[in-house]
Structure 1
Amino acid sequence: MTPNDSPDRVAVLVADDEEAPRQQLIAALRQAWPAARIVAEATNGVDAWDAFLEHEPQVCFLDIRMPGLSGIEVAQRIDGRVPVVFVTAFGDHALAAFDAGAVDYVMKPVDAARLGQALQRVQTRLDRPAAPDLSALLAQLSGQLRKPAPPAVIQASVGKEVKLIRIEQIVYFESDARYTRVAYDDEAGPGEALIRTPLKELLAQLDADQFWQVHRSVIVNHRHIASALRIDEGTMVLTLRGRSERLPVSRHFQGLFKGQ
């Protein structure tokens, strides 16, 4: 079956920080793959990841070099759940991903014939959704992209005080409509503070090996997790060391706690 023969519409996310290449890719997709339904566009990696969680696309086209999170870092968070096609002007990264077995890549500006080949491979993945393990490759490629060091402290408001919270003291971040709550443990004991930085922006700054996103509104320092408790088939919560809160784990992130 070719992409054009697909009987169902396929939800697609397109992320590229450059307007003209992004629109050119979308136009090419609509021409080459009528079954494609563009459910979200993103102009940076942070918004691309947020859009992935919100819209649950079946295929993602990700520019490799984007502000905030790179396309490779977004692909690492997607973790094989859906096919990813890298969009790039840098042949070194694209060819390495292709040779190692990534779904595929397209170069800017998009060539119709090359896009058609990529879509054939995407359709194969959709028909047989056994995801290749690309974790080692993505880690290698991510290391080639320069990224600022994670912050050592977070400045947060506690009443009229601006408190400097060392990053290792933070237990979790939880966002609401206006603020992000910072739960921490320091020498004085457990505490809470507020910052204005949205959770999705924090994701691009924090060390992903230490801080795990477990819900669209929650990032937790995994060193403070005591256990993951499955309530029922679709519901999981985290318990924390020395704290009474229970943090929700959404379906996307329950794979972090598979057990042995």
Structure 2
Amino acid sequence: MNALRPLLSQARIGMLTPWAYRASMLLSFLVLALQIALYSVVWRAIYSGHDGPVAGADVQTAVGYAVLGLTVAGVLDTSPYWSIESRVRSGLIGVDLTRPIGLLTQNLAVQTGQVVGALPTVAIGLGTGLIVGGLAPPASAGAGAGFAVSLLLAFGVSQLITLLLSLTSFWTLEVGGVGMAFFVVRTFMSGAVLPLWFMPGWLQVLAGVLPFQAATYTPLSVYFGRPPGGLAVALGVQALWIVVLGALCAWLWSRARHRVVVQGG
């Protein structure tokens, strides 16, 4: 229990920090509800000219995907990629390096807390989905169980991607521009808004070789009974990305720790 105490402390910090800015959090809930409502209207308008499914998906699936995709992204993508950068610039990174747990572990614990703090987003997203009539139960009981497992793996992939980008601040000291480009690519390639099955073949291939789809599209495709390559393959790819991204973070940190420059403090 003593060994877990520092981790729980960092997770608690991550959980409470977003709620220190309650107006911002409440505004994000409103934005999510508006997004879901608008996407519901847009998808129904797109399908109004079609009598049958498009790319194997009917209008209920398309709207349900938007509801669940925006909700999942609203929870898992809450960890800020500039967290390490701000601490490098302020000099607080020096304090982090003296703590009894490693920097990567600290940040993953904080990011976990931030995801926990964002869990009310689920109630907002699914509640709005019920109001607009856009979310049906999982394709099957097996799909529901697979979705739960895939969502847990997606959490690992999402947090490691964020941590990997954060570590680049040891070289750039400023990840704002890179972060903006990263956000656009991540949102699109993860399938958070547009399902990969609607994309052209070449774009599906490109998205398939990037880790972003394992953070959002894979659990959603499992939920709707369309896991790429089958359930076992889809979960295996997610697990593989966790190993690869974890190794990349460890390697990058082994180089970054020799470049620590305290800017302030």
Please report the TM-score for the alignment, with normalisation by the length of structure 1: 0.23
- Higher strand proportion, which one? 1
Higher relative contact order (CA 8 A, sep 6+): 2
Which structure's residues are more often helix, by fraction? Answer: 2
